[in-house]
Each structure stands twice: as C-alpha cells, then as structure tokens.
C-alpha cells in the first residue's frame, strides 16, 4: 500500500499430511525460519484437520429435507445433511451448490463443507471459530520461536458476477484485515471517497497464487517483512470484520 | 499454484503523472528493467488517462433521470449522468452507489466512473476495451524492449457479502485469467470438483497490496518470473472470460 519495497511471498511446504491433534505451529516452525515482521497465511483445510473439524459420512443420517436438496443439487445427501447442520441459513440454492450463511455471518457456498482433500469417507468443515484459531496459532508460534507473526487463515470462494474462485480471509490475528484510507488524499489533494481495502482478502488471494489448492504440500505461505508496513493501518484485526452485515448488503 | 518458488512483486513507480496521449509502454520501460517471464499489472486509471478516457464535468448536462438518481444516492448529478452513459443497465441502486452492468457485461459500482485521482473538474471512465488496451500495451512493450511480458489491467471493486474492495482484472493479454484445475487430483487421488481459479483476479489483488490506490507514483507492479509457471494453464487469456454471464448467475 503506497511505497512498498518488493513484496516476497515464500511457500511453506509441510513435511507430512496434517492429522487431528497435530500442533500446526510446530509443523510450521520445523519447515521455515520465521522472522519478526512476517505474515503467515495458512489454508483453513489444514487448520480444520488439526482441530479435528472432520465429519465421517458413514455416521450421517440425511433428513428428508437434505434428501430433497440433494436431488435438486446432485450432491450426496449425507454431504447436504452436513451442510445443513453447519449452516445458519440458506441464502440461495444454485444448480449444484447451496449458498449459505454460516455461524458468524459469513456467506459461502455449501457452508464451507469441503469434499476435496479430506481423508476418504470424510468431509472437512470450517474451524469452529477461525479468528480464535488464528489467535491461538499466533500465540503458539510466539511461544515456540519467540517472534510475533501476523496470521491469516484462508479459504477460496466463488462470488456473484465473476467466474472462478479467489482467496478470502476467514480468520486473522495481528494484521489489519480492513485498511481505512478515507483520511488519505488523492494526488490532487482531495479526500478519497471509497477506500476501505479488504487487506485480509488481498493477502489471501496473493497467498493462493503460491499455495494452490490441490497440493497440500504447500498449504501455507509467508509474506516477508510486510507486517511493519501494515502496522500503520488502524483497521480491525479479526477476519469477522470483513463480513458484511445483511443490513448493509443490497444483495440479500 | 503448486510448487512455486518465492513470488516477488516489485513496484514500478512512474516518473510523472500520466496525461492523455502518453505512451505508457515508454514510461514503464523507462522505470524498470523488464525481463522475459514478467507479468505486468497496471491500474486502469493510468490506462484510461493515457487513452483520454476522461470526461469534463462542466460539459455534462444531467438528464431528469440522472437528477432523480443523484438525489437518491447523494452523488453529483453530472457524475450520475456520466455513469448512465457508461452503463448498459442498472443492476441495483444502493444508498450511495449504483451497481451497473457495463459494456462487455462486467458488473461494477458506478459503471467504473472514478472521481478520485482524476484531474480537477474531470472524472475517469473505463478504457473502451480493456482487453485491447492490454494487448496493445503488451505489443508496444515487445517493440520497445524486445521481451514478451504478460499484462493485466486492474481495478478495485466492492462485492456482495463482504466489506472492502479487492483487486480485479478488467483487461489481460498473455496470461491465463482462469486456471482450470478440474483435471487435477487431490492428495487422495480423487478428481477435484470446483477448481476454476480466477488467476487474473488473484494477480490483481496481489498487485493491489503493492500499488495501493491513492499513490499514482506506483500504479504498476511486476510479478517476477511468474509467466513460465502460468503457461501450463490452458485457460482463456482475455479478462472478459472472468465475467459471469447472467444465465450462470443466481444473484441476477
């Protein structure tokens, strides 16, 4: 933002697949040399796995409503049942997906239930409180390696009006996720108007360029030396702040 | 995407403000050493300015409809008139903005009409055909410095469901803007399902981290050595491909 020097985004490959109960901070600290000023972005799928946020499909009994929705969307009725359990409300039903609002108010497809990269017979669900997960991961990294890094937990989402998925921040700690530049002046000295930048989502999208989605070997990246640059923004530091409230949303 | 090495994003400061008729490629070539494999991302505002896509507000006579909408949104009636001329249709009217579809089908606020960073008394409008602008800039850079770089023309946009603006690619040449990974397998060997990644928008968001919005000193950035990595994707290479057609959009 402004006169940044070159931005470096380094992949952080993990040594092995993440399992429930794993200490993610330890796996990360083993894979990379963290430095003061780093921002770590990590895919929610591995956070969910470490936290045991997995559902065994064999044990899921779909309700009649789940079966109806499954027929309409072509999805596995048990997966739809998990989606319905994870969702607070249904925003819209598409041809092969269900747009939901999940706890905390985030709108996303299929309540974030992820069939890809889950162990066979399981689906991955969202971490219970991704901002808390980010806070705990940051705290644990500080304990292990003695440096304070920013943490962003990422997901990929589709969106209205545009094809393809992009990165979004669903959890954060220690970095501003919205940068309010309304005080700034443009290059003719006038005050800027619409200038709240979704920094957290920019970081998540930039991270996605490096991590990819399929390759769990690289579920995390590090932005080198970025944190000091971001510190001048006074914006909120929890990803929940990026969620637009329905009253401010003309598309709900 | 996958096993990328460290990604480097370098700012490209321009020596001076861009004026109508400027040769942008020349300004860029003077400011940085371009290398084979680079991808250049440049803010549409400077492309618009170089192409003379500016409207003098003094010469705009607002229609009665523009005046009504201006009252409803609190905007300058002349700015609303420019928005209506640039728009193909109105998707929705918000409290202080108008969601429009512009030529080519892109949905954006205020038809992309930009009051910030325009010379006093003017507004900036979108380039007539941003994919053509990207193609021409790429061609001209090849003439000037003899290297083939990818080009992305960026804008920032708000979106439903989430606060803050992110980067989007509105023009592109020489880089895939959608990466189709549906053939790929996940780490358990199953075929991936939803895996079209909006690469162009990821690049635009990553670029926005470095360029900022207010500082015309840095309206462009370079992704170093990224192009070869992207070449393996066979996706479309014009930004118009990212625009979702209304028939595929459950929010229209």
The mean pLDDT of A87-105, rounded to a whole number, is 94
Residues 6+ apart with CB under 8 A from A167: A154, A155, A156, A201, A203, A204, A205, A206, A207, A208, B202, B205
User: Confidence class of residue A195 from pLDDT cuts 50, 70 and 90?
Assistant: confident
Please list every residue in chain A whose beta carbon sits closer than 8 Å to the beta carbon of residue B241.
163
User: Confidence class of residue A186 from pLDDT cuts 50, 70 and 90?
Assistant: low
Position A17 scores a pLDDT of 87
User: Confidence class of residue B184 from pLDDT cuts 50, 70 and 90?
Assistant: low
Beta strands in B54-161 (DSSP E): 54-56, 87-93, 98-102, 107-109, 122-124, 150-159
The mean pLDDT of B72-78, rounded to a whole number, is 95
Shortest alpha-carbon distance between residue A104 and chain B (Å) = 12
A251 → chain B, closest CA residue: B160
Please judge whether A9 and B11 are an interchain contact, meaning their C-beta atoms are less than 8 angstroms apart.
no
Shortest alpha-carbon distance between residue B63 and chain A (Å) = 24
Q: Which two tokens stand for residue B200?
A: 């162009």
Position A217 scores a pLDDT of 64
Please judge whether B218 and A2 are an interchain contact, meaning their C-beta atoms are less than 8 angstroms apart.
yes
Please judge whether A190 and B5 are an interchain contact, meaning their C-beta atoms are less than 8 angstroms apart.
no
Please judge whether A1 and B209 are an interchain contact, meaning their C-beta atoms are less than 8 angstroms apart.
yes
Shortest alpha-carbon distance between residue A111 and chain B (Å) = 14
Please judge whether B4 and A209 are an interchain contact, meaning their C-beta atoms are less than 8 angstroms apart.
yes
A196 with B163: CB under 8 angstroms? yes
Nearest Cα residue to B6 out of B233, B231, B226? B226
User: Confidence class of residue B187 from pLDDT cuts 50, 70 and 90?
Assistant: low
Position A107 scores a pLDDT of 97
Helix (H) / strand (E) containing B179:
strand B179-180
A219 with A28: CB under 8 angstroms? no
Where exactly are the structural domains of chain A?
6-51+127-252, 54-126
User: Confidence class of residue B230 from pLDDT cuts 50, 70 and 90?
Assistant: confident
Q: A89, A99, A202, A207: which to substitute to probe chain B, counting the most B Cβ within 10 Å?
A: A202
For chain B, give the percent of residues with pLDDT over 90.
74
Position B98 scores a pLDDT of 96
Residue pairs between chains A and B whose CB atoms are closer than 8 Å: 262
Note the CATH number of domain B7-46+128-243. Answer: 3.30.1330.100
Residues 6+ apart with CB under 8 A from A43: A153, A154, A155, A211, A213, A219, A220
| Nearest residue, CB atoms, B243 vs list A162, A210, A243 | A162
Q: Which CATH superfamily is domain A54-126 in?
A: CofE-like domain (3.90.1660.10)
Q: Which fold has domain A6-51+127-252?
A: 60s Ribosomal Protein L30; Chain: A; (3.30.1330)
Please judge whether B196 and A167 are an interchain contact, meaning their C-beta atoms are less than 8 angstroms apart.
no
User: Confidence class of residue A1 from pLDDT cuts 50, 70 and 90?
Assistant: very low
Please judge whether B205 and A201 are an interchain contact, meaning their C-beta atoms are less than 8 angstroms apart.
yes
Distances from the Cα of A164 to the Cαs of A252, B199, B235, B244, in angstroms?
21, 8, 11, 9
Residue of A162 and A249 predicted with greater confidence? A162
User: Confidence class of residue B70 from pLDDT cuts 50, 70 and 90?
Assistant: very high
Please judge whether A209 and B117 are an interchain contact, meaning their C-beta atoms are less than 8 angstroms apart.
no
User: Confidence class of residue B117 from pLDDT cuts 50, 70 and 90?
Assistant: confident
Global confidence as pTM: 0.94
Whether A190 shows a pLDDT value over 70: the answer reads: no
Helix (H) / strand (E) containing B43:
strand B39-43
Shortest alpha-carbon distance between residue B82 and chain A (Å) = 18
Same fold, B7-46+128-243 and B54-126: no
Q: Which two tokens stand for residue B65?
A: 């409809």
The mean pLDDT of B17-23, rounded to a whole number, is 94
Position B1 scores a pLDDT of 44
For chain A, give the percent of residues with pLDDT over 90.
74
The mean pLDDT of A182-201, rounded to a whole number, is 71
Residue of A129 and B232 predicted with greater confidence? A129
User: Confidence class of residue A2 from pLDDT cuts 50, 70 and 90?
Assistant: very low
For chain A, give the percent of residues with pLDDT over 70.
90
Position B193 scores a pLDDT of 62
Q: How far apart are CA A1 and CA A197, in angstroms?
A: 10
A202 with B166: CB under 8 angstroms? yes
Question: The tokens 């290297």 sit on which residue?
Answer: B147
């Amino acid at each position: 933002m402004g006169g940044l020097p070159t931005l470096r985004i380094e992949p952080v490959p993990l040594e092995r697949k993440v399992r429930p109960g794993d200490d993610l901070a330890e796996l990360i600290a083993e894979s990379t040399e963290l430095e003061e000023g780093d921002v770590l972005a990590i895919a929610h799928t591995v956070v969910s796995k470490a936290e045991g946020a997995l559902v065994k499909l064999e044990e899921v009994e779909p309700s009649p409503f789940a079966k109806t929705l499954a027929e309409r969307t072509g999805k596995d009725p048990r997966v739809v049942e998990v989606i319905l359990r994870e969702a607070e409300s249904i925003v819209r039903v598409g041809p092969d997906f269900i747009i939901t609002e999940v706890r905390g108010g985030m709108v996303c497809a299929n309540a974030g239930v992820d069939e890809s990269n889950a162990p066979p017979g399981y689906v991955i669900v969202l971490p219970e409180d991704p901002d808390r997960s980010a806070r705990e991961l940051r705290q644990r990294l500080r304990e292990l390696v003695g440096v304070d890094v920013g943490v962003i937990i990422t997901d990929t989402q589709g969106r209205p009006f545009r094809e393809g998925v992009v990165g979004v921040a669903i959890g954060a700690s220690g970095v501003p996720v919205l940068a309010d530049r309304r005080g700034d002046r443009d290059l003719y000295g006038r005050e800027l108007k619409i200038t709240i930048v979704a920094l957290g989502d920019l970081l998540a999208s930039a991270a996605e360029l490096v991590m990819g989605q399929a390759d769990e070997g690289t579920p995390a990246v590090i932005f080198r030396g970025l944190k000091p640059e971001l510190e001048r923004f006074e914006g909120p530091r929890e990803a929940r702040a990026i969620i637009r409230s329905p009253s401010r949303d003309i598309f709900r």
